[in-house]
Amino acid sequence: MLENLFVGIADWLRSLLGGLGTPVEINEAIVMLVKLVAILVFILINALWLVYMERKVAAYMQARIGPNRVGPKGLLQTTADIGKLISKEIVIPGKADKVVFLLAPVLIFVPTLMVFAVIPFGKNMAAIDMNIGVFYLLAIASLSTLFFWMGGWASNSKYSLIGSMRVVAQMVSYELPLVLGLLGVIMIAGSLKMSDIIAAQEHTWFIFTQPIAFLIYFTAAVAETNRCPFDLVEGESEIIAGPYTEYGGMAFAMFFLAEYANIMVICAMATIMFLGGWHAPFGLDFIPSWVWFFLKMYALIFVVMQLRWTYPRIRVDQLMGFSWKVLVPLALANIFITGIGMKIYQAIGW
Amino acid sequence: MPAISLTHYVVLSALLFSIGLFGVLTKRNAVAVLICIELMLNAVNINLVAFSKYVTPTDFIGQIFSIFVITVAAAEVGVGLAIIIAIYRNRLSVNLDDFDWLKW
Amino acid sequence: MKEKIAPVEEIKQKFGYIEVDEQKAVNVPAGKLLEFMQALKDEYELDFLTNLTAVDYPEENKFEVVYNLTSTTKAYGLMVRTGVDRENPVLPSVFPIWGGANWQEREVYDLMGIVFTGHPNLKRILLDDKFEGHPLRKDFQWEGGRE
Amino acid sequence: MFGQGLIKGLQITWKEFWAKKFTVQYPEEQHPVPERFHGKFVLDVDKCIACGLCANACPNKVITIEKQKVGKKQYMTGYIMNIQYCLFCGLCVESCNKDALHYSKDFNMNQYFYRDIPLVLVKREAPAEPEEEEQPAAKAEARPKAKPQAKAEKPAEPAANSEVAAGKVPGKEGE
Amino acid sequence: MLRTQEYFLNFGPQHPSTHGVFQIILTLDGERIVKAEPVCGYLHRGIEKLAESRTYTQVIPYTDRMDYLAAMLQNLGYVQAVEKLMGIEVPERAEYLRIISGELSRLASHLLATGVYALDIGGFTGFLLCFRERERVMDLLEELTGSRMTLSYARIGGVADDAPEGWLDKVKKLMDDMPGYIDEYNGLITGNEIFQARTKFVGQLTPETAINYSLSGPVLRASGVNYDLRKVRPYGIYDRFDFEVPLGENGDCFDRFYCRVREMQQSVRIIQQAIEQIKEVDGPVIAKVPKVLKPPKSDVYHEIESAKGIIGYYVVSDGSNKPYRVHVRRPSFINLGYLDEMLRGYLIADVVAILGSIDIVLGEVDC
Amino acid sequence: MLVEFAMQHAWLVPLLPALAFVIIVFLTRPFRKLSAIVAVGSMAVACFFATLAAYGIFTNHEYIEKPLVYATRWFSLGLPGMPDLRVDVGVQLDPVSAMMLFMVSFIATFIFLYSIGYMEGDPGYSVFFSYLSLFGASMLLLVISSNLLQMFVAWELVGLCSYLLIGFFTHKISAREAAKKAFVTCRIADFGLLLGLLALQIVFGTLNLTELAEKIEHFEEYTTFGMLTLIAVLVFIGPIGKSGQFPLHVWLPDAMEGPTPVSALIHAATMVVAGVYLVGRTMFLFHEVPSAMQLVAVTGGFTALFAATIAITQREIKRILAYSTVSQLGYMMLALGVGSLTASMFHLWTHAFFKALMFLGAGSVLHALHHKADVWEMGGLYKKMPITTWTFVIGGLAIAGIPPFAGFWSKDEILVAALNGGHYVLFAMAAFTAFLTAFYMWRMIFLAFFGEENPANHPHESPWTMTLPLVVLSVGAIGAGWLGTPWYNIWGEWIKFGHPHHGPVNYGAMLLSIVLAAAGIYLAYMLYLKDAKKKRARKMAEWFGPVYRMLYNKYYIDELYLWFNHALVDGTARLFYLFDIYVVDGIVNGIGAFARLSGDGLRVFQSGRIQNYVLIFFLGVLAVAVLMAFTGPSAASLVLGGVK
Amino acid sequence: METSIYSVIAFYGLAITILGNATLVVFARNIVHSVLFLAVTFIAMGGLFLLLDADFLAAVQVLVYAGAVCIMVVFGIMLIQRADMKATNQFNRQIFAGGGLVALVVAMCAVFAGRTAWTELVAAQEVPAGTVQFIGELLLSKYVIPFEVAALLLLVALIGAIVIARDEEVKANAGD
């Protein structure tokens, strides 16, 4: 029952609308709209929660207890922060490119939200199960670079400029190992469709068949989201806050939240591609599939956070070198080995 | 309202191509010329895909061709920008009117 | 507290123009400063310029620039003083001998107003470039403090 | 092998994640304040003889002692510390021969208005008439900020100190 | 790395990793530094001028305000200079208390330097863990002196107060715990490959350069120059303790950082020995000195090994009760003198790494 | 057995230094000491082989009569005019070449050794040794050649090495100029030699020495006497240049800019005598042409006197030695000219020892005085540099012709040969030259080594690598002449042209030469040592003012050449220059101008702006499209040139 | 063939977006704005491809054009930035000549488009769903050589761009 909670709600909505006698297309459109709004709300709440979680995790690792005043155990801290930030003025620097400056924080959420359209949170729980799902996701995700850059560029500040240079260089260079890391999985699954990939992991998760690919993907993904140890886009000890230096108030909060939404995307993606998606391990399928999905996703998010609060930041030349000299060759080797392995597998014909 | 036919796409493509051509002919900034060339290439892609859909829907030749076009476009932008940057470093200008060394 | 001081007597014998006082500190005429310092570094391994500062003596109409040298190999030190005319406070820079004089001479220039010729970048370091006067001089007057 | 340090770091943060937290929830819990804490100043007015040693010892000219001559005797009408300039070095407390000036453990000296910042330890009117000796001097006087227990007992002291209070008037800022 | 036109970047004065109000005007080519012009003086308070209108004792609190992270060492240098000027013998117990509090100050300063360096490189957790221990050190100092940072504990002729009851045991306990903590920092910060990649072979200083530019403290010793005043010219009673001087090999940022970490271990050793020895010493903690100090007309220069390097006091007396001139050789100030040459050719991120490894405190730089 | 091996493999002797050259250049150049060791070692081994070979030759009489030739075909081709051109390459061992082989390798070994000390600290140390090795190889190849063309190749190689070594101190302008001068002067001479060789080849069809010797004996079968005379004169031009005979001697003094070992080796002992050697080798040719012999004799005699007079006034130590060399070379030529190969070769042999010795001694002095060359600024060196001084004195005695030193015997031999040949004028010139030689040599010795010490100098004795060769060579300078005393002339048994002739011992000539030498030395002593202030010398110079100046300026021959060069060569060149500018360039420029004018017309369309081109391009595209649209594809392809 | 009203609306919407943004690309004063408009054009083009049943191509369009080409251009602009970005994208002197030519081109295209009988060309088939598989198979079988050549081209362009844009290393004391 719990398993089909969300699917059931959608069906119920359809039947309700069907009872109203409106045309099917409009019904579908309404259902789609509801789905998207639900995802939107879900993402935003999750982002808020993740901010809180990050602060708590950080605090616990640093021998302190973190937010604890607003709400029980400080749960409403982020909400309060958002309230504060909303009430603040967004200061537009004098020489900024005003339109672009204001557009960037708005647009930064767009690719993230669009990506969520194809992510299956549970059995039959994708808004759209697209034929080229993975590819779509990568294509859309690559857009966010531009929006980061817009923010940094439009601020017309040197720190922002350096930050946007770094953002562009970093995200472009890490996209390659990211895609190459996923290729191994796609080769084995033989499909770009998310549901196919998850179905292919019913018995063995790809993390076991593709461990190197997982590491490559995870590293590159952490870098894609500008998280520590690859957070030199906003490396606060060097360039203040990179592209966000001149942003304040809600505009800054948008960037901030988008970062957490992006973490969710990469962790969800890793869950889908490597951790078997919503498949339950050890046959524990009495727990609903979406619970499993979120469990895996949050475990990964925790790892991302722990990485951030453990490691120092690497330098920009090391960052580039790491991508081009380590990850990309490794990923290519992995693809090669995967191809050979598949051939052998087919030849043996297990 | 008439259904969308091949003509629509051809006209759209022609208009886009013309806009791109206008940019190529009249922009002073080398980077602007480069991106206008991209517009022209996109116009070509529209044609290719539209013909592919309407004329040979099962062969995908047009689509494959436009994939190659995109590839070439990406390469072209990369090399073009590199050249522009190299020129800029020597001349501190990206103004095409300044680039008249072809003239002796 | 045992003070280890460089062989002053020997130095005195070698360089007739210096004066040694009871603290075994050395007074050098400004004209011979660079030559003497170079000799100290080369021959007595006083390779470490710990301190460089100046004192204002308006009654005697002079600034006294004080150099404290130590040796990283011999573990002894030496204080060298030299007097500068207060009206025309110009002294050769010891930057070519000890790079450590770089900022210290700038500081002395900034606060005491002694000009070190030959310094590569002699400009104010602690105070604002537009500041007038040199505050560590005894006759410096400044309005705007508390009360 | 490369990566050992990385894994070791993760182990440490993981361990710390579960370790005891050091946070002290301030208003509810408090660190014990040590005996010698340099907090807010307290003046035992009855012990004070307004000698001015503390004002002299102060490197930053924080202490202002106001005295008024009542008849033949000096009478301290005010002991004000411009606490915003205080270095909390403790030289004034050390210099006090009569053990009148103390630190308290109260560290909260913030004020809403700037004009409230000076720490007024004594502020009182001088008696109108030169009173006879042994008269409880300032008992009736308005002492708005002084500690109540200070004025309650020891009536004899203020009279006595007026003879001794010959120390220099706090020097002006010379430079 | 692609080249751009050279442009300026104001690194500071309001910047998270300049350790205070310090400014570096960077001339950049892409992210590479072509020229760096340090600008200091934002915290200049004229302490040397102020000292001329204070009595000898009254100068002590001002010395606190220079290197406020290791205030006791600043006090110590000054009072020892004045004692040298006047020829005052300091009681034994006071000497031990000076050593203990001084080394605790050094510990606090190095803990901060270690933690902040981790923060500079980007690791926040190391920073807070170091602060956790620094808090304990400062609690101890507070218990001893009443203040946490600006101690004003030393007095001419001794120290302000004897140690309170049970304090030495608390110090001993902390000292027993310290090695474990230091291991934790080494695991979290020092041993981290990313940290090493960021700091090794960055900002290398040859021993010759370091000596020539009068650099001191861990910056000098990281270049392999064995020059620690506590060993070379022991002042106070440092000759009674057995400790080593940690030296670096490459003179790079990592060595400077790691020198501090190892110096903490040596400080712990010194404090442990001092606690053992102080038990046998009893007596006053301050010598008999006149109320009004009037040193003979003379001048003196005295230098000690502070946490940041060699701090030296040049005191001139004209026979009155106020010093005629006080000059402080501030290690942070002089260590910064070579910054420009050190930074050239490195990236912006290395600016932070190099500046952090020099471990400056702006109160001292600007005086 | 070893001797036989050495004789059969005499080609090893030049090969070893050549190998050393290759090794130094390609392998050991970065290692200075190793380079030196390789060079000296290879030369020492070569010397060893040469000694064995010479021993073999001189102990087997058959070889003295008939040369030992090992030859192989170098190349053969048919040319118009020379239908079957065959050139052999090989070694020819006979007493002359064996003597030379031994002498060259022996002296070279010690000079190499000397160079180790002398060149210490020079940045081009290894390069120097590689050049030296190459020189040694070339010189030995020259000596051992069985073929004149092969010899010519070696001759040119020697010239090249001389050029490289004179200009070795490339940082000195004078050295570079001197090298150029030497090279150009020698090339002028070599041109004559080459012409001569060509004529020989054309006329006799071979250049092999043995074959030529046979054929020239019967030259009437091939050519006329006039032609033979011409050939002889042409061939003699080469030695004039190389051996510094009168008109082309100018390069030799200037060549002293090179390092002193080079001067000693090349410009005193070995290379410069190559000319003498060549004439000696081709004696069969000159023998047939008396007028050519006359020319040789007169040239030699005149050069000897002429150079000696110049040497009197020179001040630089190496320059004096250089002119003395020229003078002594003239002696050798003179001896050849009067027909005595024996005397010539004997003087060559002794001269090599004492002149090398003196050059090395001079080098030692220069080394000690940091290249202060003026003899007037020296003085009293004997106190500080005993070995150098006394070996130098031995050299001076030898060259002056004081018995029993080597020079006496050989010079006496020449004088006797001239007298016996009936050339009385030449004899007188030679005798006067002997007097002058003694005078200027001892002038130099007295000035440089004795007398008052110059306080500005701080001389010191040279290292053993430099003094050892001095000592060894001084032994040679004493004893080398004992091979050919008039009483027992074993030299004449070995080295001879035709039959050895034993005249009676001419005591008169012997006495005359001793007296002349002693008089020269005494005059020098009076003028330069006895008279401490050298007043008399100065007065003499004033007295002979114009003569002195002329001598001091070497008869203005260099200036003459310069003027000649300036007037004639430059004048002709100016003419050609004008022709080039107005006629040749005029044609070329005319063609260019046509192209440029037509280009100017078309240039209007070339704005350089790419967008302009795009515009024009698209206009064209449009035109073609319109054409296609309204006329069909065929017309368009007509325009575009496409295939229908 | 397309009968759905949505597709008509979508086509016109996308066409207007494309043309409008393309015009803005050409007429924007600030080169940065030009590039941003270009990105919008590209994304809309992706939509147009979706409309043309080329979903893979649409993703490629967004990935390559919007995600890579635009970024590259943007990076290039950063390297050649100027103080007055507002006047970085101006017209040159041949604006009228160019305009005239473009008008001619448009006219010619209009004539041709009008004269051609497009409907005769149109095939009566639908595009099969899931184009990826077909394109993939074609690329790796029939068109494998052009595919490889394209890969080579990209490699050459990559290396070429690096070689052209690279500068001499700055003399630095950094050891990287």
3-state secondary structure of A297: helix
List alpha helices for B1-104, DSSP H: 6-26, 30-54, 61-91
What was the pLDDT predicted at A20? 75
Domains and CATH numbers, chain E: 7-366 (1.10.645.10)
Please indicate whether, in this complex, the C-beta atoms of E125 and A58 are within 8 angstroms of each other.
yes
- F602 in contact with B at a CB cutoff of 8 Å? no
* Tokens read off for E278: 């102080």
What was the pLDDT predicted at F244? 83
What was the pLDDT predicted at D157? 43
The confidence band for F517, taking pLDDT boundaries of 50, 70 and 90, is confident
Q: Is pLDDT of B7 > 60?
A: yes
Please indicate whether, in this complex, the C-beta atoms of A131 and G132 are within 8 angstroms of each other.
yes
A216 against G117, higher pLDDT: A216
Please indicate whether, in this complex, the C-beta atoms of G112 and F618 are within 8 angstroms of each other.
no
What was the pLDDT predicted at F641? 56
E9 φ, ψ (degrees, to nearest 5)? -135, 125
The confidence band for F78, taking pLDDT boundaries of 50, 70 and 90, is low
- Average pLDDT (A215-243) is 84
Contact (Cβ atoms closer than 8 angstroms) between residue E114 and residue E130:
yes
**Residues pairing with E27 in the sheet:** E8, E35
Taking contacts as CB-CB distances below 8 angstroms, the residues of chain A near E129 are 62-63
DSSP code of residue D116: G
Tell me which residue of F266, G164, D31 sits closest to E139, measured CA to CA.
D31
Average pLDDT score, chain A: 83
Nearest residue in chain B measured CA to CA from F618:
B21
Provide Rg for chain G, Cα atoms.
21
Identify the CATH class of G5-142.
Answer: mainly alpha
- Average pLDDT (G101-116) is 83
What was the pLDDT predicted at D153? 43
What would the pLDDT profile of E120-167 be if each residue is shown by its tens digit?
Answer: 888 888 888 888 889 888 888 888 888 888 888 888 888 888 888 888
E323 φ, ψ (degrees, to nearest 5)? -65, 140
Alpha carbon separation from F222 to A216, A235, F230 (Å, rounded): 94, 100, 14
Please indicate whether, in this complex, the C-beta atoms of F618 and G101 are within 8 angstroms of each other.
yes
- G101 in contact with F at a CB cutoff of 8 Å? yes
Place of tokens 């360089």: C15
Tell me which residue of E78, E6, E95, E16 sits closest to E351, measured CA to CA.
E16
Counted domains in chain A: 1
Please indicate whether, in this complex, the C-beta atoms of E34 and G175 are within 8 angstroms of each other.
no
**In which domain, by residue range, is D50 found?**
41-130
What was the pLDDT predicted at D156? 43
Contact (Cβ atoms closer than 8 angstroms) between residue D54 and residue D170:
no
Tell me which residue of E156, E151, E75, E142 sits closest to D88, measured CA to CA.
E151
What was the pLDDT predicted at F643? 45
- The mean-pLDDT minimum among A291-295, F465-469, F534-538 falls in F534-538
Residue A210 lies in a domain: yes
Average pLDDT score, chain F: 82
- The mean-pLDDT minimum among A49-53, E271-275, F504-508, G66-70 falls in F504-508
**Distance between CA F639 and CA F633 in Å, rounded?**
10
DSSP code of residue C5: B
Q: Are strands D119-123 and D73-81 parallel, antiparallel or unpaired?
A: antiparallel
Share of chain F above pLDDT 90, in %: 0
Q: Is pLDDT of D151 > 50?
A: no
- G164 in contact with E at a CB cutoff of 8 Å? no
Taking contacts as CB-CB distances below 8 angstroms, the residues of chain A near D10 are 306-307, 310
Taking contacts as CB-CB distances below 8 angstroms, the residues of chain B near F608 are 99-103
Tell me which residue of F564, F313, F532 sits closest to F440, measured CA to CA.
F313
- B89 in contact with E at a CB cutoff of 8 Å? yes
String of DSSP letters for E229-267:
HHHHS--TTGGGS-------SS-SHHHHHHHHHHHHHHH
Q: What is the pTM of this model?
A: 0.65
Alpha carbon separation from A174 to A166, A321, F573 (Å, rounded): 12, 11, 71
What was the pLDDT predicted at A36? 79
Taking contacts as CB-CB distances below 8 angstroms, the residues of chain A near G42 are none
Taking contacts as CB-CB distances below 8 angstroms, the residues of chain E near A231 are 122
What would the pLDDT profile of F451-507 be if each residue is shown by its tens digit?
Answer: 777 777 777 777 787 888 888 888 888 888 887 777 777 777 777 776 666 667 778
**In which domain, by residue range, is A125 found?**
88-348
**Residues pairing with E10 in the sheet:** E25
Q: Is pLDDT of F534 > 80?
A: no
What was the pLDDT predicted at D149? 47
Which residue of F610, F617, F619, F627 is the best one to mutate when testing the G interface, meaning the one whose CB has the most G CBs within 10 A?
F619
Count of CA atoms in the C-beta half-sphere (13 A) of E343: 31
Nearest residue in chain F measured CA to CA from G92:
F611
- B82 in contact with E at a CB cutoff of 8 Å? no
Q: Is pLDDT of D40 > 50?
A: yes
> HEC states along E310-344?
EEEEEEEECCCCCEEEEEEECHHHHHHHHHHHHHC
ipTM reported for the complex, 2 dp: 0.67
Q: Is pLDDT of D152 > 60?
A: no
Q: What's the gap in Å between the CA of E196 and the closest CA on chain A?
A: 10
**Distance between CA A254 and CA A44 in Å, rounded?**
10
Residue D169 lies in a domain: no
Residue A38 lies in a domain: no
Q: Is pLDDT of D172 > 80?
A: no
- G172 in contact with A at a CB cutoff of 8 Å? no
**Distance between CA F588 and CA F581 in Å, rounded?**
10
**Residues pairing with F72 in the sheet:** F89
Chain F adjacent subunits, 3+ CB pairs under 8 A: B, G
E328 φ, ψ (degrees, to nearest 5)? -115, 125
Contact (Cβ atoms closer than 8 angstroms) between residue F432 and residue F513:
no
What would the pLDDT profile of C80-127 be if each residue is shown by its tens digit?
Answer: 888 888 888 888 888 888 888 888 888 888 888 888 888 888 888 888
Q: What's the gap in Å between the CA of E204 and the closest CA on chain D?
A: 23
Chain B adjacent subunits, 3+ CB pairs under 8 A: E, F, G
- Average pLDDT (E270-275) is 90
String of DSSP letters for C70-97:
E-TTT--EEEEEEEEESSS-EEE--TTT
Q: What is the CATH number of the domain that holds D67?
A: 3.30.70.3270
Q: Which residues contact F283 (CB under 8 A, 6 or more apart)?
A: F336, F341, F497
**Distance between CA G126 and CA G117 in Å, rounded?**
20
Please indicate whether, in this complex, the C-beta atoms of D4 and E191 are within 8 angstroms of each other.
yes
The confidence band for A190, taking pLDDT boundaries of 50, 70 and 90, is confident
- E1 in contact with B at a CB cutoff of 8 Å? no
Spans of all domains in chain G: 5-142, 143-176
3-state secondary structure of E2: coil
What was the pLDDT predicted at A149? 85
Which residue of E121, E200, E347 is the best one to mutate when testing the A interface, meaning the one whose CB has the most A CBs within 10 A?
E121
- Average pLDDT (G69-89) is 75
What was the pLDDT predicted at D147? 46
**Distance between CA F136 and CA F105 in Å, rounded?**
7
Alpha carbon separation from F199 to A270, E167, F195, F196, F228 (Å, rounded): 95, 117, 6, 5, 9
What would the pLDDT profile of F224-237 be if each residue is shown by its tens digit?
Answer: 888 888 888 888 88
- The mean-pLDDT minimum among C16-20, D165-169, F121-125 falls in D165-169
- G132 in contact with B at a CB cutoff of 8 Å? no
Counted domains in chain D: 1
* For helices F225-242 and F148-166, angle between their N-to-C axes, nearest 10 degrees: 30
Residue D170 lies in a domain: no
Q: CB-CB: which of G78, G79, G173 is closest to E345?
A: G173
What would the pLDDT profile of F584-629 be if each residue is shown by its tens digit?
Answer: 888 888 888 888 888 887 777 777 777 888 888 888 888 887 777 7
Q: What's the gap in Å between the CA of A139 and the closest CA on chain G?
A: 4
What would the pLDDT profile of E55-90 be if each residue is shown by its tens digit?
Answer: 888 888 888 888 888 888 888 889 998 888 888 888
Contact (Cβ atoms closer than 8 angstroms) between residue F300 and residue F330:
yes
What was the pLDDT predicted at G2? 46
C147 against A163, higher pLDDT: A163
- G166 in contact with E at a CB cutoff of 8 Å? yes
Please indicate whether, in this complex, the C-beta atoms of A142 and G62 are within 8 angstroms of each other.
yes
What would the pLDDT profile of F162-186 be if each residue is shown by its tens digit?
Answer: 888 888 888 888 888 888 888 888 8
Chain A adjacent subunits, 3+ CB pairs under 8 A: D, E, G
What was the pLDDT predicted at A288? 79
Please indicate whether, in this complex, the C-beta atoms of C147 and D175 are within 8 angstroms of each other.
no
A170 against F373, higher pLDDT: A170
Q: Label residue F457 left, alpha or beta by phi (over 0 means left) and psi (-120 to 50 means alpha).
A: beta
3-state secondary structure of A278: coil
The confidence band for G31, taking pLDDT boundaries of 50, 70 and 90, is confident
